Structure formats: C-alpha cells, structure tokens
C-alpha cells in the first residue's frame, strides 16, 4: 500500500521479531527479565507508532514454541509480563481502533493467561484501524503441521478432494488465516534468521535487520526500516525494471 501522506510504499503487514531483550539487560548488569520488562514498554510505543503511520496489520513475535526451553524463572517472568501488558494496554488499543488477536498454541499457555487473552481480544474485536497479532507459543512449522492435519481430516471425511487443496485453502487453515502476507519483517539485535516466524506468510516479504536491541528500538529505528522498505524494488518473480524509489513515487502519483 501507499502512505497517503508521504506517497511512499508502506507495508500492509509488518512483522517484527523482537530480539535482544536478554543482551540489553546483560550489558547493563541487570537480570534478563529486566530486558523483557523494558521490551514490553517498547511494544506499547511501537504499536502506537505503527498505528500513527497507518500500517493496517502488525504481527509481533513475542514468544516462540522453542522459548519454552528457557530457564523456568525466565519463562515464568515472561508469562507474568503478558497479563500485565494486556491489562496496561487493552483500553488504549480499544481507543486506537486496534484489534488484538493471537497466533500460536495458546492452549499451552498457563490457565491464568487464558482469561486475560480472551478478554483483551473480545474488548478490541471491533477495532478497524489496525490488527495487532501477538505470536505466542508460536512455531511456523507446527502451524503448518496442524493445518495439514485439519485438511487430512476433511479429506478422510470426504468433504474435501485432494485436488481442491491449494495455497488459499492452506492459508485459510493457518493460525494467521485472514491476515495478508507479510510485506516487511524486521528483526532486531543483529540476528539474521527467521527462527520459525510466519515462514509461509513471509514467502515474499522484504527482510530488514538492525543491530539495535529490542529495548532500544524506537520511532527513529522504525522509520529507518520503513524508509528502507520504501526503497526496495519488489518483483515477485517478475521483471520489474530497475527503477529508483523517486521514479516509483512519481509513478504512483500519476497512476
Ligand atoms: C527476545 O529477546 C524476547 C524473547 C525471545 C521472548 P531474547 O530474550 O531472545 O534476547 P537475547 O537474544 O537473549 O538477547
Ligand atoms: C525468536 O527469538 C523468538 C522471539 C523473538 C520471540 P529467539 O531469541 O528465541 O531466537 P533464536 O534462538 O536466536 O533463534
Ligand atoms: Mg534472542
């Protein structure tokens, strides 16, 4: 999509792999959990900034399926942080017109989290300005496996023919059903990998990496990433001529 103010391309769906909370804290001689706390504050600010910039879909990788393997105290601290985050933000999200949803194996989260998650999703269900998806206990490959199981059940029941299975059907079975493909994935803390984040949905996404730790990520960092995205030439397998961003901007004004 095109940003109506700057006329620059803006991602319709932005994904962020929020990494580096632990290192941010360790560098300060603080416990890793202090990094997660600061990271949660940054989530509030970045959600607001994305909303202000008019990005309609934002998905944040908050806790991966593999993160269950971290030391028990760190996992517990993260699980304590989530209801606090929801409690602190749900009214603001509602006011901003942000609809909250979750992707991942939410049933694996502690029972005490189930209520606050359901309440926050219900409270914000009418939000039309932006959809914020939290990937929690999420793993892309597990999601694909689950989708395949659902499809296999339908085939076995005779309600679906194998030749009716196509990309659209598969996408509809994923936990991200209804969300558009990712246009831009930002990863912080200098790591250049996807770590099982929305892999099918990121098939054609632009990837952007910054050395900043997530607790240091701010509006300037966000705008830098969006600026880089605006200058990328997306081809989707085609042969778009090499044009620079200025030329593309003027084209979008004419067209
Ligand atoms: C990201 O920060 C937050 C989660 C994965 C929950 P990390 O905790 O992975 O921070 P580093 O990578 O150890 O610095
Ligand atoms: C990915 O970060 C998961 C989240 C940001 C929630 P990790 O820190 O867990 O990923 P790896 O272990 O470096 O791949
Ligand atoms: Mg990490």
pTM listed for this prediction: 0.94
pLDDT tens digits, the chain, 255 residues: what are they?
A: 888 778 889 999 999 999 999 999 999 999 999 999 999 999 999 999 999 999 999 999 999 999 999 999 999 999 999 999 999 999 999 999 999 999 999 999 999 999 999 999 999 999 999 999 999 999 999 999 999 999 999 999 999 999 999 999 999 999 999 999 999 999 999 999 999 999 999 999 999 999 999 999 999 999 999 999 999 999 999 987 655 555 655 555 544
Ligand 1 within 6 A of CB of 195: no
On whether residue 186 sits in a domain, the answer given is yes
Ligand 1 within 6 A of CB of 22: yes
On whether residue 171 sits in a domain, the answer given is no
On whether residue 157 sits in a domain, the answer given is no
Task: Quote the number of domains for the chain.
Answer: 1
Q: How far apart are CA 12 and CA 50, in angstroms?
A: 11
On whether residue 8 sits in a domain, the answer given is no
Domain span at 209:
13-149+180-252
Question: Of ligand 2's atoms, which has the minimum distance to the CA of residue 195?
Answer: 14
Query: Which CATH number goes with the domain that contains 35?
Result: 3.40.1180.10
Residue to substitute in 22, 188, 210 for testing ligand 1 pocket (most ligand atoms within 8 angstroms of CB) = 22
Residue to substitute in 74, 134, 189, 196 for testing ligand 1 pocket (most ligand atoms within 8 angstroms of CB) = 189
Ligand 1 within 6 A of CB of 63: yes
On whether residue 168 sits in a domain, the answer given is no
On whether residue 34 sits in a domain, the answer given is yes
Instruction: With beta carbons less than 8 A apart as the criterion, state whether 182 and 17 touch.
Output: no
């Amino acid at each position: 999509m095109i940003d109506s103010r700057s006329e620059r391309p803006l991602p319709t769906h932005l994904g962020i792999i929020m990494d580096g909370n632990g290192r941010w804290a360790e560098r300060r001689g603080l416990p890793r959990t202090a990094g997660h706390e600061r990271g949660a504050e940054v989530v509030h600010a970045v959600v607001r900034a994305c909303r202000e910039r008019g990005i309609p879909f934002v998905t944040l990788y908050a806790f991966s399926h593999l993160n269950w393997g971290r030391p028990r105290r760190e996992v517990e601290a993260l699980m304590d942080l989530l209801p606090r985050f929801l409690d602190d933000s749900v009214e603001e999200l509602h006011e901003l017109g942000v609809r909250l949803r979750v992707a991942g194996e939410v049933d694996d989260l502690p029972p005490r989290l189930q209520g606050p998650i359901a309440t926050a999703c219900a409270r914000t269900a009418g939000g039309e300005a932006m959809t914020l998806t939290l990937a929690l206990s999420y793993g892309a490959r597990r999601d694909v496996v689950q989708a395949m199981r659902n499809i296999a059940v339908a085939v076995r029941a005779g309600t679906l023919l194998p030749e009716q299975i196509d990309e659209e059907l598969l996408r509809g079975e994923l936990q991200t059903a209804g969300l558009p493909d990712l246009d831009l994935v930002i990863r912080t803390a200098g790591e250049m990998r996807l770590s099982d984040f929305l892999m099918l949905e990121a098939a054609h996404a632009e990837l952007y990496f910054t050395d900043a730790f997530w607790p240091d990520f701010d509006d300037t960092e966000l705008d830098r990433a969006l600026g880089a995205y605006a200058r990328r030439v997306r081809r989707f397998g085609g042969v778009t001529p090499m044009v620079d961003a200025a030329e593309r901007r003027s084209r979008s004004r004419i067209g």
